[in-house]
Amino acid sequence: MHRGSESAAAARIGEPSLNLRPPQNAMDVEFAELTDLGRVREGNEDYLGHVVPATPEETGARGFLFAVADGVGGQALGEVASRTAVESLLAGFREAPINEAHSSMLQRLVRDANTRVIDAGQEAGPLGSRMATTLVACALRHDRATVAHVGDSRCYLIRRGQANLLTRDHTLVNEQVRLGILSPQQAAQSESRHLLSRSLGSELFVNVDIEEHQVLAGDVLVLCSDGLHGFVPGSEIAALTSHGGDLAAAAKRLVDIANQRDGDDNITLQIVRVRSVERTGMYRGRPYRLR
């Protein structure tokens, strides 16, 4: 039996939410999520949400979805942008055709979310003209994780105590590092390190990065805004989430560390532990169970 809230706002500010599912024959996960103001912010421009299947049949047909967004622009209604993006993504996922490939689905849904953010900005008037948000989403089904992202919110895969970054920050300085213009050390010290090269709501067409990864039982996926990864390195995130302990406690500890080191930004994360997977192969584009 499913326990815990399935609301997109399940994690109230400063309080982790924990979701447990009993073992099933299909993929099974447990997760905790938390969003926090930070020590000095007056409002929260981050937003998170998830979709959890209600039955084993739905687990195999549609799967799980997790998403984190970080609104951009301070007074430019960043909180509206992040909420609009996540709510659009979750609604589209729930309504998507069953057995649709997650890669093509997320491509479509993130672009739809971009349109919704632009529309919301136009409806908001002058304040909404610069409204934008990052978005990172992870869809899980069978033994696969499909990650879509725009901006600098991240997804890590923690396996055997090691953190593997599955996303690439879409920032101006990161692009300069990739082109050899800046060194990683120079980028880390740059005053413009937080300026995004891509975001939802800034352009009519958004370029979405999509990657699919195999997951194993025991793997942990961490989705987070830069309020966390800007101050807590992946190695530390791995150390606190890979030992099989309480996920809600780990989420709270990570937020506390980020606040101790800075606290000048909202902090949001989801920790998803894979309890079991359904091993599959592909034949003519369709998954089949491996025995």
Whether the CB-CB separation of 268 and 225 falls below 8 Å is answered with: yes
Confidence of residue 129 (pLDDT cuts 50, 70, 90): confident
Domain architecture of the chain: domains with CATH: 17-167+199-277 (3.60.40.10)
Residues 110-121 pLDDT 10s: 999 999 999 999
Confidence of residue 259 (pLDDT cuts 50, 70, 90): very high
Q: Is 191 or 162 the better-scoring residue by pLDDT?
A: 162
What is the DSSP secondary structure assignment for residue 97, as one 8-state letter? P
Q: Is 109 or 14 the better-scoring residue by pLDDT?
A: 109
pLDDT over threshold 80, residue 237: yes
pLDDT at 24: 47
Give the C-alpha separation, 28 to 212, whole Å: 18
What residue has token string 């980028």?
A: 187
DSSP element (H, E) containing 220: strand 220-224
Give the C-alpha separation, 211 to 21, whole Å: 26
Tell the burial category of 198 from Cβ atoms under 10 Å away from its Cβ (0-12, 13-18, 19+). Answer: buried
Query: Span 84-105, mean pLDDT?
Result: 96
Give the C-alpha separation, 104 to 107, whole Å: 5
pLDDT over threshold 50, residue 171: yes
Query: Span 146-173, mean pLDDT?
Result: 94
pTM of the model: 0.87
pLDDT at 130: 81
Q: How many CA atoms lie within 13 A of 225 on its CB side?
A: 29
- Which residues 6+ apart lie within 8 Å of 56 measured at CB? 24, 25, 26
Residues 184-219 pLDDT 10s: 656 566 566 678 889 999 899 999 999 999 999 999
- The DSSP secondary structure of 116-172, one letter per residue, reads HHHHHHHHTGGGGGG-EE-EEEEEEETTEEEEEEESS-EEEEEETTEEEE-S---BH
Residue type, 56: P
The residue among 197, 267, 258, 259 whose CA lies nearest residue 231 is: 258
